Amino acid sequence: MDIAFRPRIGLIGGSRAEKKFLRSAEEVGRLIARREGILVCGGKAGVMEAACRGAKSAGGLTVGIIPGSNKTEANPYVDIVIATGMGYTRNSLVVMNADVVIAVDGEYGTLSEIAYAIVYGKEVIGLGTWDIAGVVPAKDAADAVERAFSRLGMPVN
Amino acid sequence: MDIAFRPRIGLIGGSRAEKKFLRSAEEVGRLIARREGILVCGGKAGVMEAACRGAKSAGGLTVGIIPGSNKTEANPYVDIVIATGMGYTRNSLVVMNADVVIAVDGEYGTLSEIAYAIVYGKEVIGLGTWDIAGVVPAKDAADAVERAFSRLGMPVN
Amino acid sequence: MDIAFRPRIGLIGGSRAEKKFLRSAEEVGRLIARREGILVCGGKAGVMEAACRGAKSAGGLTVGIIPGSNKTEANPYVDIVIATGMGYTRNSLVVMNADVVIAVDGEYGTLSEIAYAIVYGKEVIGLGTWDIAGVVPAKDAADAVERAFSRLGMPVN
Amino acid sequence: MDIAFRPRIGLIGGSRAEKKFLRSAEEVGRLIARREGILVCGGKAGVMEAACRGAKSAGGLTVGIIPGSNKTEANPYVDIVIATGMGYTRNSLVVMNADVVIAVDGEYGTLSEIAYAIVYGKEVIGLGTWDIAGVVPAKDAADAVERAFSRLGMPVN
């Protein structure tokens, strides 16, 4: 598929997380790549790195919009690093550049991204994340990715 | 008090709100001004305008960090307009420039500000706003302002 | 004059400068304050600090839009610190928040601000700064301030 | 070459330009693509669009960091659109995400990018652009691209 038309799936979550969430994020990344989605995230460690690693293991493309001004700050599985030098203020840009968002675990930084995503009219699918109005809960990684692509009019079947 | 040392109280909430919240916000603004606090907000209508009006009615000083690039976009009770041209991305800057934050009502934009405030280590006091971990509920405007100044080591008595 | 209607004079220039430029900047700050202008600058050392010191010596009001996220980073003569956490990217916001701009000396950061000011349709008056099309040269501090206020329709006589 | 290690060449210039500059920009884009460089630009019309078209005609990869918040605003030859919603303030991010910068023609927006590039320590190579200290003049598109890659330690021979 032409790169400019591939769906962009935002993946948000903390830079530290328990193993079970890292495993979910990695699976989410892998499944996004298999569906030819571009993974857009904050480019750092934890959930973001696990998702990028999953996406790369399946030949996917990853974009990391990072807080710092130096691309070496990104995790090693980010293909296209976008440095901002704006710190957490970049959270807004992460979800602005996704067609739909999957949130895995996460604390207050993730909460700011969930809020922005909803402000921007993007659906947020949640895996073990903040239980607030507007977040659609998924039961596992496969369900989250299925919901994300369905939302974009690209269901599996 | 020297202007550079006056406490900065962030006031967040929606650009549209029910009358009862507008009344609370106005009272919060008035009380902040009486305590020589500087009111920092997003500079727009609704809860922000009500709070600024309250602050000005008591001779206070108001700062509005607005989404647009033109200062005429601010509500008429803002003294110092800071235009950003960054849209909602400016939400991060509103709370970054407060020593403590009071949230009145509000939807997802306010939620993004609550989240950022906590990321930045600022206490958030809530009046009829999002009920999430980390927000300290207040029972009315006076209680909210009292909690805010106490947090800064400036209790009434 | 009501604070919201006082003219905002942007003052741009480097965080290090020779004594003669610091003296000019201080004089510019003093004269802006005497005319009830609000001095808007980047809030750091050098030319910015000298101008703020001048403005405060004449009872003026100063705004500093700083690169970092902590207000303690501002020079001690800034009244209203606006932290951005955006590094040099904040240069755009400094001139966006001025009605007219005076540039004193300066290197490439100042050049970015001159360029932005012109993009935003603000007149730039120069004192020993970049000699490029669009910058109106002044012969000294008094001339620069006179030109700035004249531009805003507020000439001395 | 692994996408994360491909050199990133920033291409800056106006959204309107004379034909001769559009032709140069297109040739620059084509040559960057042939050398496996990633073209990073502001994603809009004029010089940016011409360069992206050139890069795509040679099978290259293009990144456009745009002022608006909607990816449809990018020119049709941008592969990876990064929306910012920050207007001209995004100019800083364009050059922050390049290893070296080529400026073609351009007005004050381009001047702000040249200034930022130098602040960030990136070499700027100029083709018919601002004649200021720090810009290395090139004689044509091929020379500009050769200088850019040489700067990155990747000369042709």
Percent of chain D with pLDDT over 90: 97
Largest CA distance in chain C: 42
User: pLDDT of A87-102, one tens digit each?
Assistant: 999 999 999 999 999 9
Best of B86, B90, B93 to disrupt the D interface (most D CBs within 10 Å) is B86
Say if residue C1's pLDDT is above 90.
Answer: no
pLDDT of residue B155: 83
User: pLDDT of D74-93, one tens digit each?
Assistant: 999 999 999 999 999 999 99
Say yes or no for a CB contact (<8 Å) between B93 and A92.
Answer: no
In angstroms, the CA A112 to CA D141 distance is: 44
Say yes or no for a CB contact (<8 Å) between D89 and C88.
Answer: no
Instruction: Kindly state the helix (H) or strand (E) to which residue C101 belongs, with its residue range.
Output: strand C100-104
CA distance C156 to chain B (A): 25
Report residue D23 as tokens.
């032709």
CA distance A85 to chain C (A): 6
Size of interface B-C (CB pairs under 8 A): 54
Say if residue B157's pLDDT is above 70.
Answer: no
pLDDT of residue A156: 73
Q: CB distance from D97 to chain A under 8 Å? A: yes
Mean pLDDT for all residues in chain C: 97
Say yes or no for a CB contact (<8 Å) between D86 and B86.
Answer: yes
Model pTM score: 0.98
User: pLDDT of B21-30, one tens digit each?
Assistant: 999 999 999 9
User: pLDDT of B78-115, one tens digit each?
Assistant: 999 999 999 999 999 999 999 999 999 999 999 999 99
Q: Which of residues 47-66 of D touch B (CB under 8 A)?
A: none
List all chains that touch chain A, counting a touch as 3 or more CB pairs closer than 8 Å.
B, C, D
Contacts of B116 in chain A (CB under 8 A): 88, 108, 112
pLDDT of residue A92: 98
Size of interface A-C (CB pairs under 8 A): 17
Mean pLDDT (whole number) for A23-27: 98
- Give the SS3 label for residue A47: helix
Q: How confident is the model at residue D157 (pLDDT cuts 50, 70, 90)?
A: low
Question: Within 10 A of D62 (CB to CB), how many other CB atoms are there?
Answer: 29
CA distance D111 to chain C (A): 6
Mean pLDDT (whole number) for A53-68: 98
Q: How confident is the model at residue A157 (pLDDT cuts 50, 70, 90)?
A: low
Residue of A nearest to B131 (CA): A132
Say if residue D33's pLDDT is above 80.
Answer: yes
| DSSP β-bridge partners for residue A65 | A82
Q: What is the DSSP code string of B3-44?
A: GGGS-EEEEE--SS--HHHHHHHHHHHHHHHHTTPEEEE---
Q: How confident is the model at residue B72 (pLDDT cuts 50, 70, 90)?
A: very high
User: pLDDT of C76-99, one tens digit each?
Assistant: 999 999 999 999 999 999 999 999
Quote ipTM for the complex: 0.97
Per-residue exposure over A45-70, b if at least 16 CB sit within 10 Å of its own CB, e if not: bbbbbbbbbbbbeeebbbbbbbbbbe
How would you write C64-90 as a 3-class SS string? Answer: EEECCCCHHHCCCCCCEEEECCCHHHH
Say yes or no for a CB contact (<8 Å) between D116 and C119.
Answer: no
Q: CB distance from B69 to chain C under 8 Å? A: yes
Exposed / middle / buried, residue D19 (Cβ in 10 Å: 0-12, 13-18, 19+): exposed
Q: CB distance from D116 to chain C under 8 Å? A: yes
Question: Within 10 A of C5 (CB to CB), how many other CB atoms are there?
Answer: 8
Residue keyed to tokens 């364009």: D94
Q: Which of residues 117-156 of A touch B (CB under 8 A)?
A: 118-120, 130, 132, 134
Q: CB distance from B22 to chain C under 8 Å? A: no
Q: How confident is the model at residue A73 (pLDDT cuts 50, 70, 90)?
A: very high
Q: CB distance from D84 to chain A under 8 Å? A: yes
Which of A89, A115, A120 is opposite residue B115, by nearest beta carbon?
A115
Q: Where are the alpha helices (DSSP H) in D9-132?
A: 19-34, 47-57, 91-96, 108-119
Which of B88, B108, B119 is opposite residue A92, by nearest beta carbon?
B88
Q: What is the DSSP code string of C38-65?
A: EEEE---STHHHHHHHHHHHTT-EEEEE
Q: Which amino acid is at A60?
A: G
Say yes or no for a CB contact (<8 Å) between D86 and B88.
Answer: no
Residue B17's alpha-carbon distances to B63, B105, C69, in angstroms, are 20, 7, 30
CA distance D119 to chain C (A): 6
Which of C112, C118, C134 is opposite residue D116, by nearest beta carbon?
C112
Say yes or no for a CB contact (<8 Å) between A91 and B93.
Answer: no
